[in-house]
Amino acid sequence: MTTAPETVAELIACHWGDHRTGLMYGADAARGVRPAVLSRHRYAREAAARAALLVDLLPPGAEPHVGVLLDNTPEFPFWLGAAALAGAAVAGINPTRRGPELARDVLHTDCRILVTEPAHLPLLRGLDLPGVRILVTGTESYAALLAPYADAGPGGATVRPPGPGSRLLLYFTSGSTGAPKAAICSQGRLAAAGHSLARSFRVGPDDVHYVCMPLFHGNAVIADWLPALCGGAAVALRPRFSASSFLDDVRAYGATYFTYVGRAVQYLLATAPRPDDRAHRLRLGFGTEAGAVDAARFTERFGVRLVEGYGATEGGASVQRTPDIPPGALGRAGAGDDLAVIDPETGLECPAAVLDADGRLTNGAEAIGELVNRGRSLFEGYWRNPAAEAARTRDGWYWTGDLFFRDPEGFLYFAGRTDDRLRVDSENLAAAVIENILARWDAAAAVAVYAVPDEVAGDQVMAALALREGASFDPDAFAAFLAAQPDLGTKMAPRYLRVLDALPVTATNKIHRVALRRAGFLPPPAGGSRPAPVWHRTGAGYRPLDAESLAALLAAYEDRGRRELLDRG
């Protein structure tokens, strides 16, 4: 019996001499452009050449870290493979970061080499990056640098011999406050995760993994690229996610699998239906936070099963699916994990969820808490951030920062982030639970729920709502819909509602909640864009938050000394 490779370097080396399709890119159905195709062997050659270049370019004594500021071009997986072969690590740099924040990410991760592309060079102008050498892909100078290494092979050049404990990724995890933290991911942990997903989804050489989520984020690498490496599937790249091009790409590449994060599924559902929506090879999508309603709609329209998973780049806790999983659940604790839903205020385990006949939560205030791993943890720390490590592993437990509830059979259900918890009239609410209810409204294309300060104490519920194409907001119909939801608690109905053409998203296609919370129910600053309408609940109905109502509301905040809570940070 052949032993599975224990490192990503071994997985790359397995490509050597294999002339099956390994990497595809550049398809453009609108212009009739067919995809470029590279064999698995060619991919390994390109990775080996860059590994040799990396070893020669790194200054003596420098940390073996290379920053990668690229869209999903072939150069990104080339450098991932190069770092693996060389025993080095890649820091994925987010191209939506700007100025000192972007420079901070490069310098914080001790990158002495930064790989970018001409389109991103404007982001680097004027930045102070002492000791950092910038390589610009797609240029003559870059090609000249690589030329002497064209005959390099796997294992020919290393900074240090790659092993299961070798750092491979320094991937930034975002938060609502503070600078992003760089989570450490080793080759052994990443290879094991890839093998696990490849087995779970029966990935084989006939599969094509469509990578449309950004490779600077852990989702695309860990849940899409790595299972393809482990299962022998081809990889197809999309530079940036595009809902309008999704189906054309899937058909052009013959894709069978993709990953999603955030609200990408909602934007796909918002595209105009086509007669050929099911004319493709796609069989599976794997990701997070699609929601049960949208997952069902996606399957009905496109004929593709969506599998919701749970896992963070940090690797501190895992939830595994089982054949008997009920609708809406993510699974049970993974092997070796001791997962519990803990009330962070008391440190005690929350009671089991009470679900009605339709599987809807009826005791959310008591049952929802933070998911904690009280057993072993695969968390490998944050780069040069001991305070963040201590907060994540306090009291000897791994605190995920995510809200969950658990049913009496032990199945776990995601309820949002701890940052997305609201406290209304002394009752704790989870944004994701309210979002899942609001998503049932037929007119809704996308929904986000978040807290705005109450004028007296605590929070109020606010929602941002994007409508389906051709729909208009009917306040009476919306109020009637809310009244008909049996699991909508008395504190859950949004007090404020902003109707948008589309919800703002981050570079990883997650809802930009910080921007929504910052805006609250206030109009944009002077000179800003045309304000999206805001509605507020009065009694059982909704009416526009006009200038007179807004003035009275702000006066109430002033009277209670809470006006500054609404100021945009």
CB 360 within 8 A of CB 328: no
Domain 425-566 in CATH 3.30.300.30: yes
pLDDT of residue 560: 75
Determine phi and psi for 227, rounding to 5 degrees: -60, -30
* Burial of 522: CB neighbours in 10 Å, binned 0-12, 13-18, 19+: middle
pLDDT of residue 262: 64
Q: Which residue ranges make up each domain of the chain? A: 8-308, 329-420, 425-566
Q: Which of 265, 249, 271 is nearest to 297 (CA)?
A: 265
Q: Domain 329-420's class?
A: mainly beta
CB 187 within 8 A of CB 163: yes
Spatial neighbors of 224 by CB under 8 A, at least 6 apart, are 209, 210, 211, 213, 235, 257, 258, 259
The tokens describing 14, both together, are 């397995």
AA identity, residue 546: D
Q: Residues 160, 161, 163, 168: is their CA dihedral positive or negative?
A: positive
* Burial of 187: CB neighbours in 10 Å, binned 0-12, 13-18, 19+: buried
Task: Tell me the C-alpha distance between 239 and 225, whole Å.
Answer: 14
Q: Do 329-420 and 425-566 show the same overall fold?
A: no
CB 279 within 8 A of CB 251: yes
Q: pTM of this prediction?
A: 0.83
Neighbours of 526 (CB within 10 A): 5
pLDDT of residue 213: 93
The tokens describing 301, both together, are 């329209």
Which DSSP helix (H) or strand (E) runs through 540?
none
pLDDT of residue 489: 83
DSSP symbols for 141-190: HHHHHHGGGTT--TTS--SS---TTSEEEEEEE--SSSSPEEEEEEHHHH
pLDDT of residue 530: 60
Task: Tell me the C-alpha distance between 370 and 342, whole Å.
Answer: 5
DSSP symbols for 216-255: TSHHHIIIIIHHHHHHT-EEEE-SS--TTTHHHHHHHHT-
Q: How many CA atoms lie within 13 A of 62 on its CB side?
A: 21
Task: Tell me the C-alpha distance between 62 and 110, whole Å.
Answer: 8
CB 412 within 8 A of CB 339: yes
CB 24 within 8 A of CB 37: yes
pLDDT along the chain (569 residues), means of 10: 87 96 95 96 98 97 97 98 98 90 95 98 95 98 98 94 97 69 96 95 97 93 97 97 95 97 82 95 92 87 93 83 86 83 93 88 88 92 95 92 92 84 80 90 92 86 92 94 88 93 84 86 67 85 92 87 70
DSSP symbols for 349-401: BPPPP-B-TTS-BS-HHHH-EEEEE-S------BTT-HHHHHHHTGGGSEEEE
pLDDT of residue 376: 86
| Topology of the domain comprising 8-308 | Rossmann fold (3.40.50)
Q: Which of 510, 503, 344 is nearest to 421 (CA)?
A: 344
Which DSSP helix (H) or strand (E) runs through 509?
none
CA distances from 277 to 77, 273, 303, 304 (A): 30, 7, 8, 10
**Among all chains, which residue has been given the structure tokens 């020669």?**
56
Determine phi and psi for 370, rounding to 5 degrees: -85, 135
DSSP symbols for 77-130: HHHHHHHHHHT-EEEEPPTT--HHHHHHHHHHTT-SEEEE-GGGHHHHTT---T
Determine phi and psi for 181, rounding to 5 degrees: -100, 140
CA distances from 188 to 169, 313, 336, 383 (A): 11, 14, 17, 18
pLDDT of residue 176: 44
